[in-house]
Structures are given as C-alpha cells and as structure tokens.
Amino acid sequence: MPQPPTPPALAGLPRAERVQVLDDWLGGLLTEALAGTPRTGRRGADAGGPADAGIALVAVGSLGRRELPPLGDLDLVLVHDGRPEIAALADALWYPVWDAGLRLDHSVRTIAEAVSVAGDDVKAGLGLLDARHVAGDAEVTAELRTTTLASWRQHAGRLLPQLRELRRARARQVGELGFLLEPDLKEAYGGLREGQVLRALAAAQLADAPPADAGEAYAFLLDVRDELRRSSGRAGDVLVRQEQAAVAAALQLADDDALLRQVSLAGRRLAFVADETWRRVDAALVRRPRARYRRVRREPLAEGLVRQGDEVVLARDARPAVDHGLVLRGAAAAARADLLLSPYTLKVLAVHAPPLPEPWPPEVRWSFLRLLASGRSAVPVLEQLDQEGLLARMLPEWDRVRSLPQRHPWHRFTVDRHLVEAAAAAAELTRDVDRPDLLLVGSLLHDIGKGWPGDHSEVGAVVMEDMATRMGFSPPDVETLVTLVRHHLLLPATATRRDIDDPLTVDRVVEAIGGDPAVLQLLHALAQADGAATSTSAWSPWKAHLVAALVARVAARLGSAPVPEPVLEPSDPQVATPAPEIPGPTAPVTVGVEDVLDGQQVTFGAADRPGLFSLCAGVLALNQLDVRAARVNVRDGHGTLVFAVRPRFGRPPVPEILADGVRAALEGTLPIAERLQQRERDYSRGATAGAVAGPPPRVSWFDAEATGTTSLVEVRAADRAGLLHRLTAALAGTGLDISSATVETLGADAVDAFYVCDPSGTPLDPPRRARAEQALLAVGVVTAGGARPAHQVRHGSPPRIGSWRA
C-alpha cells in the first residue's frame, strides 16, 4: 500500500496529479479496511461474492470534480447496501485519513438515505451531483449518480429557488467577484460557486451547458485559488492584497494589478452567464404546462427590432449585416423598455454587425445618447454589449479600462463599471443642464485616460478628443467634452482642499473653465454623477454642499448668480444655544453648536492667543469629532473659530463640555497632546508587529493671494487621532497664524490644507517656510518599527487648478 500523502507534498503537485495520488491511496485504504473488517453478511443475504460488493467509496465536492485545491477538504461518502459492519469499516477508513493530517468531510449512507438527504437539502443535492467513483463497487456509484440526478430533476421546481436565494444572500454578504479588491474566489458572486451552479442547472435540464468561455474563466479561477493556497500556506479562498504579487508571479502575470484584472474579467463573465441562465430557469419554472406552446406576442419597438416576451429580438426583416445602427438602436430600445437583448440576438449582432462609419451618422449617435439617457436600465444592457465585445468594437478605447482595478478604497467598481454607473447617475441630472448629451458622454468617458500611463485627466482629454470627433460631435462640442474630461476633478478637489471664499480660488476656477457658465454647469453635474458612482464616502452631503457653494461663487463671478453667503460663519447664539461664559483665570470662552448639513457647526469664542486654533482642534479630537473645514477670524484681540464637524460615533457635541475643555487647555490643566498620544497607543494595541509603513508625508506650498502675504500649505499624511491638532500646533510653534483650513480623509490618508501668514503681515521667506516644513513633516511621520521614512516637499505657485485631484 502506498505511503499516506502529506498536505505539503500534495500542495506541490499539479491538480490532476494531486487527485490521482489521493484516489490511489484511498482505494488502497478501502481494500485494507475491507480485508481487516470481519464480514457478517448483507441485509437480506448471506455473505459471499467479492469483498467490495455492495459498497463504494465516492468522492463529492471539489474532489469529486477533480478540482481539489491544496489543503482542501476531502469530501467522501461511503455508500453501502445495508452492511451491519459498516461502522467498523468506516472507522478503519477515516482514521488513516485523519492520521495523515488531511481535512476530511465524511458521511456514511445507503443510496436511499443519500437521495433523501439530497431531496431535502439543496447543498447536499448540489454536492452529490459531482459524485465520482473512487473505489469499491462501481455499480453502487453508478446507481447513486443515476438516482440522485433523477431526484434533482424531479425536485428542481422546489430546490432551484432555494439555491438561487442562497446565492443572492451570499452575493449581498460577500459582494461581486468582478469588483472586489480582495475577492473571495469561491463565494463572491461570479466565483467558483457560480461555475458549480451552472453545471447543476444544466443537470436539471433547464439550461444549456455553460459556454466554453465560461469554462475557461472557471479554470482560471481554479488556478488562482491553487496558487493562493500554495503561496499563503493556508486553506483560504480570499485573494488578500499581500498575496496577490506572489500569485501573479506564479501565474506569469505582469503584476498584482494584472492578476486582479484577469480575476475581474473571469468573475464578470461567470456572473453574466449565471444571470442569463437564471433568467432562463425562472422562465421555465413559472411557465404553465398548457401555455408552453402558446404563441408569444411580438411587439414592434424600433426598426428591425421587436419585443418578444421579456426580451428584445430581431424582427424578421432585420438586416444586421448592412444596418450600421442596429446594435445601438437595439440597445437603446431594450434599455428604454427596461428589457434585455436576447442572447441569440447578441450572438447574431456580434457576428454580423458591420463596423461603424467614421464619423458616426447622426442616427447612430442619437441611439447612443438614448441608451445612456435610460439611466439604471442602461447598465445591464451596456454589460451585455461589453460581454459580447460589441462595446469595444464601437469604442476601441474601452478595452483599456475593461475590468481595470482601482486600488483606492472609496471606489466600489472597476474603471469601466464606474464609468457606466456615472453615466447612469448623470441621466438623473440631464434636466439640470443645457446640454444633456454632452453630460452623458462626458460622464461615460471622464476616466477613460486611466487606461494609459500618466495623468489620467490630461491623457483622457487627448483620448476624448479623438473619440468625440469619431462620434461626429461638432468642433465646439468636442472642445467642451475635452474640457469636461480634463477638469472633471476641478470642483470637488478645489472645494474640499481650498478656501472657497478666497477670491483667488474662484478666479482660478473661472480661468480653468474659460469663463463659460455652461461648462461650469456641466462640471457640477459631472462631479455629482462621478461622486455618486464612486461611493457614499466619496460624495457625502458635506462634500456636495461645498461643491455647490463653490459653484455658486464662480457663477456669481461670471455674473449669472447672486453672491452667496460664506460657507462657515459664526453660529447664531439664539439658534445654537451657546454655553454661558465660564469665568476663571483666563478670559471667558463661549461655544455655539448648530446643526448643519451632514454634521454640526461649532463656533468657539475666546481671547486671541498663539495656538488657539490648535487647542480648539485638540478639544474637538478628544471629543471624537472629525473636522472637515475651519475658519478663523480675529478682531480687537478676540478670536472666533468656526469648525464644521461630524461626530465619529454619532454623539453630537455638547457646548458645555467643549467650552470646559478649551478653558482647561488654556489654563494648562488639560494636556491635550498627552491625551491624544495615549488614545493613539490604546487604538494601536494588538496591531501587527513589523507592519509596513505607509508612504512618506508630503508638504506642498502655494501662494494663496496675489499680495503674497498669505500662503497655502497642504499636508498629506497618514490619518491618525488628533492629526489636525498636531499640525496646527506645529504651525503655531513656528509663529504662523492660520486663517482657514480644509480637511479631507482619503481612505487611510488625510489631506489638510492651511492658509497661513506671518502676524506682522510680511511674506513668508524661504527659511521660515523651511522651519514650518520640518515641523509639519515631523508631525506627519507615522511608522512601523521605528523607521523614519524619507520626507517629500514641493514648492511653487499653484499648479493649473485642473491638476488638483484626489
């Protein structure tokens, strides 16, 4: 008998060889167990015949499918005809498997028992569909397979809805494989489980066998899982970030992004085929037998296209080989009717549709715009065109962004799906702009430059010029679309990182858009659509409010709107119910709190002194309040500080507590820095030792006013408790005054911008800036293991405002 295989030895073998080694060893185990177990006869018959008569060792699950991954479970069923000694035989079989260190999921059943369980439990039934003979009586295995398959088909009407609900629940819990940065290769929707479900649906004779490309996608995911387990040495199916580079190298892919893109393509293909298959299954399950051969009504939708049931199909007189507009006309008709193109129609169009003329005829461009204007209904139709290669045929640049991963944690989707989602969101804003056609196309293609190296806004502008010209837009419209792509981050980046009440900020936006109110209108709608397609974190109510406020200021400068009120201004004491003045050794402190959009506005009033801004920011941090923006006003020795805050844990600020904290800090009885350091130590307990430090902090200087007396300093660093307090304390320590600040958190990073000046009113000279830089960089360093990363510093006038981006 061969030596028992060990998990490490099995992990190093190719998949087919690994399964064969196990089959040979398990077959030997069964033979030895049969020889060592006294035979007492079968139920209703005397002992006799071959030793393995009426008993079989059957593999199910991944071993049954010959797909067992490294460190995978052995799913085995000992099937028998009622032997009394079956318990002793099973013990003799299972214990050597456990002794070898292999993971085992086992059961002992008669054929009737196995079929009964499969008829009641959809998971058990799904597993038994993969039953494969390993050793023993092959006739027993054959009978098990035949009976199980017949039972599966008989109970499909009851089991398949359960199976679909199981997959929907897992999709809601785990997500879609095609859009996850750390996907669960097995359970995420579009993962390995979908391939198994597709085979089960085909076995129920309610759907065709999966197409060849779905099989290829499934096989690729199997390879990824094998390499993941080899690399990590763990029996896990989640492709975590730290393992992606090793897996990519093992599969001879360029890097981890290339791996993630291929995983996304495979997952989206399996999900697409699964969706289409489930639609067929649902239709088959709800169809009444007597109505099976009833003629389906055909309703004309557009030239060459009709509605048949719940699908759009080609009309009898359609001419797909010569009709250039048929693909987009059909897609638009389907989306407008909230339907899908039939799979057969898609296949015909993929084979016969001719290339589009250049430039596009007006009718083709009109159909394209109608498709995009359909909003949410257009998303699955565009996915159909994408999966059949029709979208890339019309827009060749689309291949560059197909399933391209976005590593930023705010992004929910790959680049291509993000663009489709942005276009769907823009469809809800078309009545807010004068040129909805340009908004729709600009939203669909605003990130098209991410498929090329370099600044995606600048590269995308060049790509957009070629695409818009090819689509047949007029030169002025092409210029507008290019501007939308080049400056699609202009408004959100400026609103969240610059003082929007600074006239110079408004002037730069006006300059960037060429003073065109129509472009401003389109950029505002595009920013809303882009943010909605990214995530709620990327487009919070506060951010939307800031962008709208910036747009109002620019519109006022262009003469198309009245001048708006400042974004942050002291709270009205009658509304804010401020705390009473608190007497003591220091001057009185007042605090007003007012509910505003997506949070609160806190107004501090106190006698001005160096570091007052930092003390107030520290008190807010100690009270678990995140600051998004701040403004300082000093008049006659009295400071008014206004902060836009959001409670981290849902508890609104209490004016009395904040006022007491500021007074204690002014008196020196509240050690803010020590309290924040202690909190940081408490939060970091249990963190992984030796964790890799993030990128180094970066400080950028810009001139903020034409007079040159105020400078803008931007700090990018790892976010941490009380970071704003530390940074403002560092600036105060170098003798600089802060007039306003904006704060934004991008995942694990903070981007804080401060308008600073010398109290004497003189411009900041290079030595003064250098001292401030060193103080800010020292605060921004957050390392693991005590290493201090290199610092980065940038100087100069502000870049063209379109390059201020997240």
Q: What pLDDT is recorded for position 514? A: 94
Summarize pLDDT for 13-28 with one digit per residue, the tens.
999 999 999 999 999 9
Confidence of residue 805 (pLDDT cuts 50, 70, 90): very low
- How many Cβ atoms are within 10 Å of 39's Cβ, its own excluded? 16
Q: What pLDDT is recorded for position 569? A: 66
More confident of the two residues 689 and 307 = 307
As a whole number of angstroms, the distance between CA 645 and CA 592 comes to 13
More confident of the two residues 609 and 42 = 609
Burial class (CB in 10 A: 0-12, 13-18, 19+), 115: buried
Cβ(451)–Cβ(415) below 8 Å: yes
520-527: average pLDDT? 97
Domains 573-683 and 698-803 fall in the same CATH topology: yes
- Tallying the residues shown for the chain, one arrives at 806
Confidence of residue 778 (pLDDT cuts 50, 70, 90): confident
Look-up of token digits 């199980």: 148
Q: What pLDDT is recorded for position 687? A: 44
Q: What pLDDT is recorded for position 292? A: 52
Helix pair 212-232, 192-203: axis angle to 10 deg: 140
Q: What pLDDT is recorded for position 760? A: 84
Cβ(521)–Cβ(439) below 8 Å: no
Omega into 359 within 30° of 0, i.e. cis?
Answer: yes
Burial class (CB in 10 A: 0-12, 13-18, 19+), 191: buried
Summarize pLDDT for 419-441 with one digit per residue, the tens.
999 999 999 999 999 999 999 99
Confidence of residue 581 (pLDDT cuts 50, 70, 90): very low
Cβ(182)–Cβ(189) below 8 Å: no
More confident of the two residues 673 and 290 = 673
Q: What pLDDT is recorded for position 683? A: 61
Displacement of CA 700 from its chain's centroid (Å): 30
- Tell me the backbone φ, ψ of residue 483, rounded to 5 degrees: -65, -40
- How many Cβ atoms are within 10 Å of 287's Cβ, its own excluded? 11
Q: What pLDDT is recorded for position 751? A: 84
As a whole number of angstroms, the distance between CA 567 and CA 435 comes to 29
Q: What pLDDT is recorded for position 747? A: 61
Mean pLDDT of the chain, nearest integer: 87
Q: What pLDDT is recorded for position 597? A: 75
More confident of the two residues 225 and 206 = 225
CATH no. of 698-803 = 3.30.70.260
Domain boundaries, the chain: 7-154, 158-288, 298-394, 415-567, 573-683, 698-803
Q: What homologous superfamily is domain 573-683 in, according to CATH?
A: ACT domain (3.30.70.260)
Q: What pLDDT is recorded for position 307? A: 95
Helix pair 612-622, 655-667: axis angle to 10 deg: 130
Summarize pLDDT for 184-195 with one digit per residue, the tens.
999 999 999 999
Is the per-residue pLDDT at 577 higher than 50? no
Q: What pLDDT is recorded for position 443? A: 98
Q: For 230-234, 353-357, 679-683, which range has the lowest pLDDT when averaged over its residues?
A: 679-683
Give the containing element (helix H, strand E) for 28: helix 15-36
Q: What pLDDT is recorded for position 43? A: 46
Is the per-residue pLDDT at 45 higher than 60? no
Is the per-residue pLDDT at 789 higher than 80? no
Q: Where are the alpha helices (DSSP H) in 650-745?
A: 655-667, 672-684, 723-733
As a whole number of angstroms, the distance between CA 729 and CA 706 comes to 27
Cβ(183)–Cβ(191) below 8 Å: yes
Is the per-residue pLDDT at 708 higher than 70? no
Is the per-residue pLDDT at 104 higher than 50? yes
Is the per-residue pLDDT at 182 higher than 70? yes
Task: Select from 177, 32, 4, 40 the least CA-distant residue to 93.
Answer: 32
Sign, CA torsion 797/800/802/803:
negative
Tokens of 57: 């060792």
Summarize pLDDT for 635-663 with one digit per residue, the tens.
888 889 999 888 887 788 999 999 999 99
Residue 608 zone, left/alpha/beta (φ > 0; ψ -120 to 50; rest): beta
Confidence of residue 579 (pLDDT cuts 50, 70, 90): very low
316-322: average pLDDT? 94
Cβ(481)–Cβ(464) below 8 Å: yes
- How many Cβ atoms are within 10 Å of 601's Cβ, its own excluded? 22
Q: What homologous superfamily is domain 7-154 in, according to CATH?
A: Beta Polymerase, domain 2 (3.30.460.10)
Cβ(699)–Cβ(752) below 8 Å: no
Q: Where are the alpha helices (DSSP H) in 100-211?
A: 111-120, 122-128, 138-154, 156-174, 192-203
Confidence of residue 3 (pLDDT cuts 50, 70, 90): confident
Task: Select from 711, 726, 720 the least CA-distant residue to 775.
Answer: 726
Is the per-residue pLDDT at 558 higher than 70? yes
Confidence of residue 295 (pLDDT cuts 50, 70, 90): low
123-142: average pLDDT? 92
Summarize pLDDT for 740-776 with one digit per residue, the tens.
888 877 666 788 888 898 888 888 888 889 999 999 9
336-362: average pLDDT? 95
More confident of the two residues 473 and 43 = 473
Q: What is this structure's pTM?
A: 0.83
Summarize pLDDT for 484-503 with one digit per residue, the tens.
999 999 999 999 888 888 88
578-587: average pLDDT? 47
Q: What pLDDT is recorded for position 803? A: 32
Give the pairing of strands 74-80 and 710-718. Answer: unpaired
What is the percent of the chain where pLDDT is above 90? Answer: 61
Look-up of token digits 């403004």: 631
Task: Select from 36, 17, 18, 19 the least CA-distant residue to 96.
Answer: 36
The architecture of the domain spanning 158-288 is: Up-down Bundle (1.20)
Structure letter (DSSP) for residue 294: S
Cβ(744)–Cβ(496) below 8 Å: yes
Summarize pLDDT for 235-291 with one digit per residue, the tens.
999 999 999 999 999 999 999 999 999 999 999 999 999 999 999 898 887 754 444
Q: How far is CA 274 from CA 192, 207, 309, 390, 590, in A?
A: 11, 10, 20, 20, 62
Q: What pLDDT is recorded for position 291? A: 47
Q: What pLDDT is recorded for position 750? A: 83
What is the percent of the chain where pLDDT is above 70? Answer: 88
Is the per-residue pLDDT at 327 higher than 80? yes
Q: What pLDDT is recorded for position 155? A: 87
- How many Cβ atoms are within 10 Å of 452's Cβ, its own excluded? 16
Is the per-residue pLDDT at 781 higher than 70? no
Summarize pLDDT for 218-239 with one digit per residue, the tens.
999 999 999 999 999 999 999 9
Highest-pLDDT range among 194-208, 250-264, 596-610, 735-749: 250-264
Q: Where are the alpha helices (DSSP H) in 155-255?
A: 156-174, 192-203, 212-232, 241-250
Give the containing element (helix H, strand E) for 436: helix 436-445
